[in-house]
Amino acid sequence: MNHSPLLEKFIALLDEAESLAPVLDLACGSGRNGLYLVNQKFPVVFADIKETALEQVKSTLTSKYGELKPSASFWQVDFEKDSFEQGSVIQKHEHPLAGKSFAAIMVFRYLHRPLFEQIKQAVIPGGYVVYETFTVEHPQFGRPKNPNFLLKQGELAELFADWEIIHSFEGVIEANNDSGRQAVAQIIARKPK
Ligand SMILES: C[S@@+](CC[C@H](N)C(=O)[O-])C[C@H]1O[C@@H](n2cnc3c(N)ncnc32)[C@H](O)[C@@H]1O
Protein backbone atom coordinates (compact mmCIF):
# COMPACT_ATOMS: atom_id res chain seq x y z
CA MET A 1 0.00 0.00 0.00
CA ASN A 2 1.27 3.47 -0.86
CA HIS A 3 2.32 6.10 1.64
CA SER A 4 -0.09 8.95 2.39
CA PRO A 5 0.26 11.97 0.06
CA LEU A 6 0.26 14.06 3.24
CA LEU A 7 3.88 13.01 3.74
CA GLU A 8 5.09 14.91 0.68
CA LYS A 9 4.15 18.11 2.48
CA PHE A 10 5.63 16.91 5.74
CA ILE A 11 9.00 15.84 4.35
CA ALA A 12 9.84 19.38 3.29
CA LEU A 13 9.35 20.45 6.92
CA LEU A 14 11.51 17.60 8.23
CA ASP A 15 14.27 18.59 5.82
CA GLU A 16 14.46 21.93 7.59
CA ALA A 17 14.12 20.53 11.13
CA GLU A 18 16.99 21.24 13.49
CA SER A 19 16.69 17.96 15.34
CA LEU A 20 17.56 14.50 14.18
CA ALA A 21 15.38 12.93 16.85
CA PRO A 22 13.46 10.08 15.28
CA VAL A 23 9.94 10.19 13.90
CA LEU A 24 7.46 7.83 15.56
CA ASP A 25 5.16 5.92 13.20
CA LEU A 26 2.52 5.20 15.85
CA ALA A 27 0.40 2.12 15.11
CA CYS A 28 2.51 1.65 11.96
CA GLY A 29 0.83 -1.49 10.56
CA SER A 30 2.73 -2.50 7.41
CA GLY A 31 4.84 0.64 7.86
CA ARG A 32 3.84 2.24 4.53
CA ASN A 33 4.40 5.76 5.91
CA GLY A 34 7.46 5.16 8.07
CA LEU A 35 9.12 3.23 5.25
CA TYR A 36 8.69 6.22 2.97
CA LEU A 37 10.59 8.38 5.49
CA VAL A 38 13.34 5.76 5.97
CA ASN A 39 13.74 5.72 2.18
CA GLN A 40 14.26 9.49 2.39
CA LYS A 41 16.93 8.87 5.08
CA PHE A 42 15.01 9.97 8.16
CA PRO A 43 15.26 7.95 11.40
CA VAL A 44 11.96 6.23 12.21
CA VAL A 45 10.67 4.21 15.15
CA PHE A 46 8.01 1.75 13.95
CA ALA A 47 5.57 1.02 16.79
CA ASP A 48 2.66 -1.39 16.79
CA ILE A 49 0.97 -3.86 19.11
CA LYS A 50 1.40 -6.64 16.55
CA GLU A 51 4.72 -8.41 16.31
CA THR A 52 3.63 -9.63 12.85
CA ALA A 53 3.28 -6.02 11.64
CA LEU A 54 6.81 -5.18 12.80
CA GLU A 55 8.15 -8.37 11.20
CA GLN A 56 6.53 -7.30 7.94
CA VAL A 57 8.25 -3.90 8.11
CA LYS A 58 11.60 -5.60 8.79
CA SER A 59 11.08 -7.96 5.90
CA THR A 60 10.21 -5.06 3.52
CA LEU A 61 13.42 -3.29 4.57
CA THR A 62 15.65 -6.34 4.20
CA SER A 63 14.22 -7.24 0.81
CA LYS A 64 14.80 -3.68 -0.41
CA TYR A 65 18.24 -2.99 1.11
CA GLY A 66 19.56 -6.49 1.85
CA GLU A 67 19.78 -5.52 5.54
CA LEU A 68 17.91 -3.64 8.27
CA LYS A 69 18.65 0.08 8.03
CA PRO A 70 20.20 1.49 11.22
CA SER A 71 17.80 4.43 10.89
CA ALA A 72 14.83 2.10 11.48
CA SER A 73 14.00 0.82 14.94
CA PHE A 74 11.12 -1.26 16.20
CA TRP A 75 8.90 -1.05 19.26
CA GLN A 76 6.23 -3.60 20.10
CA VAL A 77 3.85 -1.76 22.40
CA ASP A 78 0.21 -1.60 23.49
CA PHE A 79 -0.69 2.10 23.48
CA GLU A 80 -4.02 1.37 25.14
CA LYS A 81 -2.76 -0.51 28.19
CA ASP A 82 -2.69 1.93 31.06
CA SER A 83 -3.49 -0.25 34.07
CA PHE A 84 -2.98 -3.76 35.44
CA GLU A 85 -4.43 -5.77 38.30
CA GLN A 86 -2.36 -6.56 41.37
CA GLY A 87 -4.47 -8.73 43.64
CA SER A 88 -7.72 -6.83 44.06
CA VAL A 89 -6.10 -3.46 43.32
CA ILE A 90 -5.99 -1.79 39.90
CA GLN A 91 -2.56 -0.18 39.45
CA LYS A 92 -1.84 2.53 36.91
CA HIS A 93 0.96 1.78 34.43
CA GLU A 94 3.31 4.52 33.42
CA HIS A 95 2.12 5.44 29.94
CA PRO A 96 4.24 3.99 27.08
CA LEU A 97 5.05 7.48 25.71
CA ALA A 98 6.06 8.91 29.12
CA GLY A 99 9.62 10.24 29.10
CA LYS A 100 10.05 9.67 25.35
CA SER A 101 10.64 12.37 22.78
CA PHE A 102 10.34 12.46 19.02
CA ALA A 103 10.99 15.05 16.31
CA ALA A 104 7.55 14.13 15.03
CA ILE A 105 4.77 11.68 15.68
CA MET A 106 2.65 10.48 12.81
CA VAL A 107 -0.60 8.62 13.27
CA PHE A 108 -2.56 7.23 10.34
CA ARG A 109 -5.82 5.30 10.59
CA TYR A 110 -5.67 4.83 14.36
CA LEU A 111 -7.58 6.56 17.14
CA HIS A 112 -7.36 6.14 20.89
CA ARG A 113 -8.45 9.42 22.45
CA PRO A 114 -6.75 8.92 25.87
CA LEU A 115 -3.46 9.04 23.93
CA PHE A 116 -3.93 12.57 22.60
CA GLU A 117 -2.24 14.42 25.47
CA GLN A 118 0.60 11.88 25.61
CA ILE A 119 1.26 12.40 21.90
CA LYS A 120 1.38 16.17 22.36
CA GLN A 121 3.81 15.82 25.27
CA ALA A 122 6.14 13.39 23.51
CA VAL A 123 6.82 15.75 20.56
CA ILE A 124 9.87 17.99 21.13
CA PRO A 125 9.33 21.78 21.12
CA GLY A 126 9.42 22.85 17.46
CA GLY A 127 8.55 19.28 16.40
CA TYR A 128 5.51 18.09 14.47
CA VAL A 129 2.44 15.93 14.58
CA VAL A 130 0.98 14.46 11.41
CA TYR A 131 -2.43 12.91 11.95
CA GLU A 132 -4.94 11.46 9.52
CA THR A 133 -7.87 9.25 10.36
CA PHE A 134 -11.55 8.65 9.69
CA THR A 135 -14.31 11.04 10.69
CA VAL A 136 -17.93 10.55 11.72
CA GLU A 137 -18.83 11.08 8.02
CA HIS A 138 -17.03 7.89 7.07
CA PRO A 139 -19.52 5.06 7.85
CA GLN A 140 -21.45 5.79 4.62
CA PHE A 141 -18.34 4.53 2.76
CA GLY A 142 -17.45 1.50 4.93
CA ARG A 143 -15.67 0.56 8.15
CA PRO A 144 -14.83 1.65 10.77
CA LYS A 145 -18.29 2.53 12.05
CA ASN A 146 -17.62 2.51 15.80
CA PRO A 147 -17.70 6.17 17.01
CA ASN A 148 -14.70 5.45 19.25
CA PHE A 149 -12.64 5.14 16.07
CA LEU A 150 -14.11 8.19 14.30
CA LEU A 151 -13.07 11.80 14.77
CA LYS A 152 -15.81 14.29 15.48
CA GLN A 153 -16.19 17.37 13.30
CA GLY A 154 -13.33 19.78 13.99
CA GLU A 155 -11.84 17.52 16.69
CA LEU A 156 -8.26 17.44 15.38
CA ALA A 157 -8.13 21.17 14.69
CA GLU A 158 -9.43 21.88 18.17
CA LEU A 159 -6.95 19.50 19.79
CA PHE A 160 -4.00 21.28 18.15
CA ALA A 161 -5.43 24.81 18.41
CA ASP A 162 -2.48 25.80 20.65
CA TRP A 163 0.05 24.62 18.02
CA GLU A 164 0.92 26.21 14.68
CA ILE A 165 -1.41 24.63 12.12
CA ILE A 166 0.46 24.01 8.88
CA HIS A 167 -2.17 21.93 7.14
CA SER A 168 -5.74 21.11 8.12
CA PHE A 169 -8.33 19.27 6.04
CA GLU A 170 -11.62 17.59 6.72
CA GLY A 171 -13.59 15.94 3.92
CA VAL A 172 -13.79 13.10 1.45
CA ILE A 173 -10.75 11.71 -0.34
CA GLU A 174 -10.31 8.99 -2.97
CA ALA A 175 -9.40 5.60 -1.59
CA ASN A 176 -8.73 1.99 -2.43
CA ASN A 177 -11.85 0.64 -0.72
CA ASP A 178 -15.11 -0.66 -2.26
CA SER A 179 -16.75 2.76 -2.44
CA GLY A 180 -13.51 4.39 -3.63
CA ARG A 181 -13.93 7.10 -1.02
CA GLN A 182 -13.07 7.82 2.62
CA ALA A 183 -14.08 10.63 4.96
CA VAL A 184 -11.02 11.76 6.88
CA ALA A 185 -9.53 14.59 8.87
CA GLN A 186 -5.87 15.49 8.45
CA ILE A 187 -3.58 17.79 10.33
CA ILE A 188 0.06 18.80 10.27
CA ALA A 189 0.86 20.96 13.28
CA ARG A 190 4.03 22.33 14.86
CA LYS A 191 4.51 22.43 18.62
CA PRO A 192 5.49 25.86 19.97
CA LYS A 193 9.20 26.19 20.92
C1 LIG B 1 -5.80 0.45 10.38
S2 LIG B 1 -4.18 0.00 10.86
C3 LIG B 1 -3.25 1.42 10.32
C4 LIG B 1 -1.81 1.10 10.02
C5 LIG B 1 -0.98 2.26 9.49
N6 LIG B 1 -0.91 3.37 10.41
C7 LIG B 1 -1.49 2.71 8.13
O8 LIG B 1 -2.14 3.76 8.03
O9 LIG B 1 -1.24 1.99 7.16
C10 LIG B 1 -4.20 0.19 12.64
C11 LIG B 1 -2.95 -0.34 13.34
O12 LIG B 1 -3.07 -0.04 14.74
C13 LIG B 1 -2.47 -1.10 15.45
N14 LIG B 1 -2.99 -1.08 16.84
C15 LIG B 1 -4.26 -1.34 17.22
N16 LIG B 1 -4.37 -1.26 18.56
C17 LIG B 1 -3.14 -0.93 19.03
C18 LIG B 1 -2.62 -0.71 20.34
N19 LIG B 1 -3.39 -0.82 21.42
N20 LIG B 1 -1.32 -0.38 20.49
C21 LIG B 1 -0.51 -0.28 19.38
N22 LIG B 1 -0.96 -0.49 18.11
C23 LIG B 1 -2.25 -0.81 17.93
C24 LIG B 1 -2.89 -2.34 14.67
O25 LIG B 1 -2.08 -3.46 14.97
C26 LIG B 1 -2.77 -1.86 13.23
O27 LIG B 1 -1.49 -2.15 12.70
What's the order of all strands across the beta sheet hosting 164-174?
A: 72-76, 44-48, 23-26, 102-108, 123-134, 181-190, 164-174
* Domain boundaries, position 145: 6-79+92-190
Residue-level pLDDT at 65:
84
> What is the spatial distance between Cα 67 and Cα 59, in angstroms, rounded to a whole number?
9
Q: Is residue 84 part of a domain?
A: no
Instruction: Report the separation in Å between the CA atom of 28 and the middle of ligand 1, taken as the mean of its atom positions.
Output: 6
Q: Is residue 145 part of a domain?
A: yes
Nearest Cα neighbor of 190 from 119, 121, 130 is 130
Ligand 1 atom closest to Cα of 50?
Answer: 25
18 pLDDT higher than 70: no
> What is the spatial distance between Cα 17 and Cα 32, in angstroms, rounded to a whole number?
22
Q: Which helix (H) or strand (E) holds 63?
A: helix 51-65
**DSSP category for residue 109:** S
Residue-level pLDDT at 19:
65
Instruction: Report the separation in Å between the CA atom of 1 and the middle of ligand 1, taken as the mean of its atom positions.
Output: 15
Q: Is residue 165 part of a domain?
A: yes
Q: Is residue 47 part of a domain?
A: yes
Through-space distance between the first and last CA atoms of the chain, rounded to whole angstroms = 35
Q: Is residue 15 part of a domain?
A: yes
Q: Is residue 1 part of a domain?
A: no
55 pLDDT higher than 70: yes
Number of other CB atoms surrounding residue 191 within 10 Å: 18
Atom 17 (ligand 1) nearest CA: 49
2 pLDDT higher than 90: no
pLDDT band at 21, cuts 50/70/90? Answer: confident
On whether the CB atoms of residues 1 and 129 are closer than 8 A, the answer is no
- Provide the number of structural domains found in the chain: 1
Determine whether the shortest distance from the Cβ of 29 to ligand 1 is under 6 A: yes
Q: Is 163 helix (H, G, I), strand (E, B) or coil?
A: coil
Report the mean per-residue pLDDT for the chain: 91
Domain CATH for 104: 3.40.50.150
Atom 27 (ligand 1) nearest CA: 29
The lowest-confidence range among 18-27, 34-43, 104-113 is 18-27
Q: Is residue 86 part of a domain?
A: no
Q: Is residue 111 part of a domain?
A: yes
Q: What is the pLDDT of residues 176-193, one digit of tens each?
A: 877 899 999 999 999 999
Q: What is the pLDDT of residues 71-127, one digit of tens each?
A: 999 999 999 987 556 667 666 677 899 999 999 999 999 999 999 999 999 999 999
